[in-house]
Structure 1
Amino acid sequence: MPHYTSYDNTELAYRVLEARDGSARPPLICLAGGPGRNAAYLGDLGGLDAHHTLIIPDSRGTGDSPPATDPSGYSFPGLAEDLEALRRHLGLNRFPLLAHDAAAATAQAYAAAHPEHLTHLVLVCPGARLQGQLPEDAREIFESRADEPWWQEAYVAVQLLPDTTDFGEVRRLLLQAAPMAYGRWDEPQRAHAAAEGEQLGPVPRAGFWQGVDEAGRRAVLARLREVPCPVLAVTGDRDAVTGVRAGELVAESFPDGRAQPLHGVGHYPWVDEPDLFRPLVEDFLAGRPGRP
């Protein structure tokens, strides 16, 4: 895997999926969430490499990137500065950015600090923790699925996870709760979920939200109001992890933001419905009118 040198001289890894059509347009940098999850779970994002070269970095302590020497390196503002180092390494003046799940916080921190370098921002199933809110609709989506055969075991896992400290047990409970993150629980979803436990790094996961106080959070939000690039928040109407309302709140934080829910989709739209997710993102990046 290629590497780049970040702000503290750490060598960090990234993966390149070349555009299959040979496109020479600026690459789409794609950030993995988790937090602290190996970016392998992104795959090719439902075939987004058809017309776009994808640059997929391994954040500190995940994949082929070494752990941080300072705990602040795991925080999302620190990861945003890693992204800026990657931009410089690639020689990009302006580029589109896609971030999934918790990495939406990293992407927002980057947009607040370096708005001049973004052409488009795609936030996939973001939470609204940076916005200071925890909408109730994710819980409502979860409860609405109570007649599905996996639901009772998932419910038990959800209750136990907050107080579980043994990471082996955390991994087991995450797999037990996994169906709530998908629009349906078929073979592609089962295979995708089975890899999650081994892809999570407990130290990067624990450090992601550290070091940002209330004043810092508000400062980031204030700067988002000045971000000029268009922003798309993609949500899934069956996402019982972050729900739909969080994406709406995130989109509302930008002057040119919009949210687009996808029907029958959970927390991983490219796994559930790649033929809905891929054209939505492609149209947005091309400046074409969005489709529902």
Structure 2
Amino acid sequence: MEFFTSYDGTELAFRTLGSGPALLCLPGGPGRAGEYLGDLGGLSADHTLIIPDTRGTGASALPADLTSCRVDRLVPDVEALREHLGLDRIDLLGHSAGGSLAMLYAAAHPDRLTSLTLITPSFAGVGLPSDLGAREVIAARATEPWYAEAVAAYEGMQSATSFAEAARYRFAFEPLMYGRWDDTARAHAAADPAQRSLPVSEHYYAGYRPDTEALRRQLGALPCPVLLLAGRLDLWPTAASATAAAALFPDVILTVQPGAGHYPWLDDPAALSGMVAGFLASTTTTTTTPPARRTP
């Protein structure tokens, strides 16, 4: 574990895995320490993964001002880490709520990105829905032995008014977030409470109101390629939500991983790491003129 001091004096932690070109990976949760990302299905074989613990999570200090844990106010932490690493430009990856943060960083610092990879991202940061058609996705899994209990837990989470209140439903709900509810998925889900900082979870979107028009303009002029990857079985975001959100970007590859939930590197590690590594290998230094839009 390594440490750096962010813009306001808060000491933040990050770990590095693997070798090769640097890839900065922002975890989600929100409020979950970066450990849960593992090495993203073997992606560390091709890249040096730089995985920070968001302020207040894992080994990073909890700031006195918890409002600094709000998603838009985390953008300066990402910029401070880039500067600490001495990188002029970065390949940036965001997962889940970390995808919202990655998009906000891209909007604020487009000239600092070589590429943007969004793995099952939340679109809350840019004011778009993440759950289009979620109940249809749930219904398609009705033959699973855990289905009735998981659906009841899903309804409980939907009615919860805080992350703390939702926590009692989380493990029963978790089978809906994985493509396979096997021993690996159960262990990954069981680790969540110890890795999650509820104060950060509660403040991550609290009071945040995205300027959707400005964000659409900024992301619509993004001068780097984007990989947007969704899981066919994911609820947040659904494949339908990811497909709609792809229109935000001028140069985007949208892919939907079959049989995958919210953590596609667990459901099919080779598919996830191969897709991301192939995308990164294809990217080059961008110019100030956005390239032509690509489609899958």
Q: TM-score, structure 2 length as denominator?
A: 0.90
Question: Equivalent residue of 1:139, what SS?
Answer: helix
Separation (CA, whole Å) in 1 of partners of 2:133 and 2:240: 7
Task: Output one character per residue of 1:201-252: Cα deviation in whole Å (capped at 9) or x when no partner.
Answer: 11111111134325x3432232111111000111111113321122223322
Out of 81, 90, 99, the residue aligned to residue 86 of structure 1 is 81
Change (3 A) 1:165 1:198: farther
Kindly indicate whether residue 182 of structure 2 is the aligned counterpart of residue 170 of structure 1: no
Out of 179, 182, 190, the residue aligned to residue 183 of structure 1 is 179
Change (3 A) 1:235 1:118: same
Kindly indicate whether residue 11 of structure 2 is the aligned counterpart of residue 49 of structure 1: no
Once the two structures are superposed, the pairs formed by residues 207-218 of structure 1 within 5 Å of their partners are 207-214=203-210, 216-218=211-213
User: Post-superposition shift, 1:135?
Assistant: 4.2
Once the two structures are superposed, the pairs formed by residues 1-292 of structure 1 within 5 Å of their partners are 1-19=1-19, 23=20, 25=21, 27-129=22-124, 130-164=126-160, 170-214=166-210, 216-287=211-282
Code of the aligned partner of 1:194? A
Unaligned runs of 5+ residues in structure 1 are none
Question: Equivalent residue of 1:233, what SS?
Answer: strand
Change (3 A) 1:91 1:132: same
Which stretch shifts more, 128-137 or 202-211? Answer: 128-137
User: Post-superposition shift, 1:164?
Assistant: 4.0
Separation (CA, whole Å) in 1 of partners of 2:204 and 2:46: 32
Code of the aligned partner of 1:7? Y
Separation (CA, whole Å) in 1 of partners of 2:268 and 2:158: 30
Change (3 A) 1:279 1:167: closer
Separation (CA, whole Å) in 1 of partners of 2:276 and 2:222: 19
Question: Equivalent residue of 1:267, what SS?
Answer: coil
Question: Equivalent residue of 1:125, what SS?
Answer: strand
- Once the two structures are aligned, what percentage of the paired residues are identical? 43
Task: Output one character per residue of 1:97-129: Cα deviation in whole Å (capped at 9) or x when no partner.
Answer: 111001111001100010111111110011333
Q: Is the 8 A contact 2:23 2:50 kept in 1?
A: yes
Change (3 A) 1:136 1:61: same
User: Post-superposition shift, 1:134?
Assistant: 4.4
Cα RMSD (Å) of the superposition? Answer: 1.9
User: Post-superposition shift, 1:182?
Assistant: 0.7
User: Post-superposition shift, 1:7?
Assistant: 1.0
Separation (CA, whole Å) in 2 of partners of 1:71 and 1:170: 20
User: Post-superposition shift, 1:136?
Assistant: 2.5
Question: Equivalent residue of 1:229, what SS?
Answer: coil
Code of the aligned partner of 1:180? L
Code of the aligned partner of 1:16? T
Separation (CA, whole Å) in 2 of partners of 1:77 and 1:166: 20
Change (3 A) 1:140 1:279: same
Q: Is the 8 A contact 2:18 2:48 kept in 1?
A: yes
User: Post-superposition shift, 1:169?
Assistant: 6.0
User: Post-superposition shift, 1:165?
Assistant: 6.1
Question: Equivalent residue of 1:99, what SS?
Answer: strand
Matched residue pairs, number? 284
Task: Output one character per residue of 1:42-98: Cα deviation in whole Å (capped at 9) or x when no partner.
Answer: 011111100100100000110001112223311111111100000000000011011
Question: Equivalent residue of 1:16, what SS?
Answer: strand
